[in-house]
Amino acid sequence: MTAAPGIPPLKAAIPNPQSKIIYLAGPTGVGKTALAVALAEQLDAEIVGADAFQIYAGLPLLTAQPTPKEHSRVPHHLVGCVPVTEAFDAQRYADQARPLIDEILTRGRMALVVGGTGLYFRALIDGLAPTPPPDASLRAELNALDLPDLIARLRAADPSAPVQVDLQNKRRVTRAIEIVEGSARPLAEFRKTPPSSACGLLLTRERKELHERIAANVRAMFEQGVVEEVRALADSLGPTASRAIGVREIQALLRGEMSRAACEEAIVIATRQYAKRQLTWFRHQTTFQPLDLTGPPHPSLAVESALRALREFDVS
């Protein structure tokens, strides 16, 4: 491993030389992949993905997976490896990520966990609180209700629950009802895990710049052929992959229900909303050190800033 000019050596760069796992989180469009690859090269690390949709094979454009060139620079794990037909969740992610990380450490390298799915980070770092298993009859009953009725039912069962749930996501509202009604306990009792003190960075950008990057990324994926990518897999997308941002909008485009311009704009808006939720989650649920990437710094300076932030991270 050769450090770039001006970048401190590895042992001075991380807060605890015994810590071999570093977490890199942030909203979609913030620039996680580019920084992760450059940082992994400096730390002699391998990257372990922590993204609920990048984990799927066949959707590299839609989910903004690392490019083949980036894969060639640094080994990546849990990226583009799960068939789109399969359901996937945070517990299954943690079950697969832990042995991969152990293997990386055994080979004397560091593990850099990179992504934007908060529950994947929680499952890996702290584990998930046990919740009541889904009940088939209750699930069928809830699936027959529309979203406003589900929200009303959740509020009746646990008045404090709605503020803890993404009320635009019918699946999450349904699951919250299952937990509350199945346990007869408030939803908050299953979310008492304190913010983790794991060694990590939360990447941010000034809001206007992040929105501009998201819009540029959406334009680029259309220019690169994302519509054909979705068309090729439209009949095989499983229950998890089908929730990726852009799938519903592009399928509407393919059915002639939406123009390309309207489709792009709808995806930009949905992505911005998702990025806001991601930032809120990581700020409240972790103690990751914030790192503002606003502006166009030279890549080596961004890496130096990341290493400096990690050195200042309090893991005591």
**What is the CATH number for 305?**
3.40.50.300
Residues 117 and 154 in one domain: no
How does residue 130 score in pLDDT terms, banded at 50, 70 and 90? confident
Whether residue 109 lies inside any domain: the answer is: yes
Query: Rounded mean pLDDT of 73-102?
Result: 95
Residues 212 and 308 in one domain: yes
Whether residue 1 lies inside any domain: the answer is: no
pLDDT at 133: 79
Whether residue 56 lies inside any domain: the answer is: yes
Residues 220 and 111 in one domain: yes
Whether residue 82 lies inside any domain: the answer is: yes
- The percent of residues above 90 in pLDDT, for the chain, comes to 66
Residues 242 and 298 in one domain: yes
Whether residue 98 lies inside any domain: the answer is: yes
Whether residue 62 lies inside any domain: the answer is: yes
Residues 30 and 79 in one domain: yes
Whether residue 269 lies inside any domain: the answer is: yes
How does residue 220 score in pLDDT terms, banded at 50, 70 and 90? very high
The pTM score is: 0.81
Residues 176 and 244 in one domain: no
pLDDT at 118: 93
Query: Rounded mean pLDDT of 137-151?
Result: 91
Residues 101 and 176 in one domain: no
Residues 199 and 286 in one domain: yes
pLDDT at 307: 87
Residues 111 and 140 in one domain: no
pLDDT at 8: 41
How does residue 191 score in pLDDT terms, banded at 50, 70 and 90? low
Is a pLDDT exceeding 90 seen at residue 193? no
Is a pLDDT exceeding 80 seen at residue 234? yes
Number of domains in the chain: 2
Query: Rounded mean pLDDT of 1-14?
Result: 41
Question: Comparing 224 with 11, which gets the higher pLDDT?
Answer: 224
How does residue 316 score in pLDDT terms, banded at 50, 70 and 90? very low
Residues 236 and 293 in one domain: yes
Residues 88 and 163 in one domain: no
Point out which residues pair with 111 in neighbouring strands: 21, 46
Look up the domain containing 25 and give its range.
10-127+194-312
Is a pLDDT exceeding 90 seen at residue 308? no
How does residue 120 score in pLDDT terms, banded at 50, 70 and 90? very high
Residues 182 and 43 in one domain: no
8 Å CB contact between 153 and 145: yes
Whether residue 5 lies inside any domain: the answer is: no
Which of 190, 220, 236 corresponds to the end of one domain?
Answer: 190
pLDDT at 195: 53
Which of 190, 209, 234 corresponds to the end of one domain?
Answer: 190
